[in-house]
Amino acid sequence: MVVQRLKITIYWYKRTTVSLNEVKFEVLRPVGKEEEETKGDPLNTLYKLGEEKLKKRKADFFIITIETPESRYVLGEGLKDRTTRLLYNMPTRLLKVGIIKMGKTKSGGEGYFILRDENIEWHDIKEEAYIYDGPLKVGEGIEAIVFETSIDRRVVRVQHPSRQRQASQSRDQQNQSSPDSGI
């Protein structure tokens, strides 16, 4: 076991729902931070702290970072509904959200689509919030959502159950009306 100088930081987050017009999604809002320095084995300390914080949970989600002079170790844990989509692999600072309405994009080749910035309805996120995972609920007139964060701009195309049913029905109708292939 290697004993090293460790800088430990624990961030606590609470889940809240953001509603912007016809769009609803969850974010993590910071509710606390703990810092300490100690000596020890970084991995053993990380796992021991993780188990301890799970038992004495102060919020919905936490991240533990342990920094040594050579490395950084990170553990994130929280309540997560495994049926929802993972939007980022780590909680990421959310700056703005863009809403793209139906008909505001053009199809590009190979499944890509083209959009212009003026066709995006932007909403600034005024309070500190982090995007990670969770349900993404949108109205029928929304085609995609843009998450602008501290690290990137990500476009999430939304799936509407009613449009999936329509596409499935039209495929079924095409299959029924297609000429017999002679099999």
Residue-range domain boundaries for the chain? 4-163
Average pLDDT over residues 40-64: 89
- Which letter does DSSP use for residue 158 in this model? -
Give the pLDDT confidence score for residue 110 in this predicted structure: 76
Percent of the chain with pLDDT over 90: 51
Average pLDDT over residues 157-167: 61
Which band of pLDDT confidence, cut at 50, 70 and 90, is reported for residue 164?
very low
Query: Count H helices, E strands: the chain?
Result: 2, 14
> How far, in Å, CA of 13 to CA of 55, rounded?
16
pTM of the model: 0.76
> How far, in Å, CA of 107 to CA of 117, rounded?
16
CB neighbourhood size of 14 (10 A): 15
> How far, in Å, CA of 41 to CA of 4, rounded?
6
Predicted confidence (pLDDT) at residue 168 exceeds the cutoff of 60: no
Burial of 111 from C-beta contacts in 10 A (0-12 / 13-18 / 19+): exposed
Backbone angles phi, psi at 49, to 5 degrees: -65, -40
Predicted confidence (pLDDT) at residue 77 exceeds the cutoff of 80: yes
Predicted confidence (pLDDT) at residue 183 exceeds the cutoff of 50: no
111-137 pLDDT, tens digit per residue, is: 777 888 888 999 999 999 999 988 889
Q: Supply the mean pLDDT for the chain.
A: 83
Predicted confidence (pLDDT) at residue 35 exceeds the cutoff of 80: yes
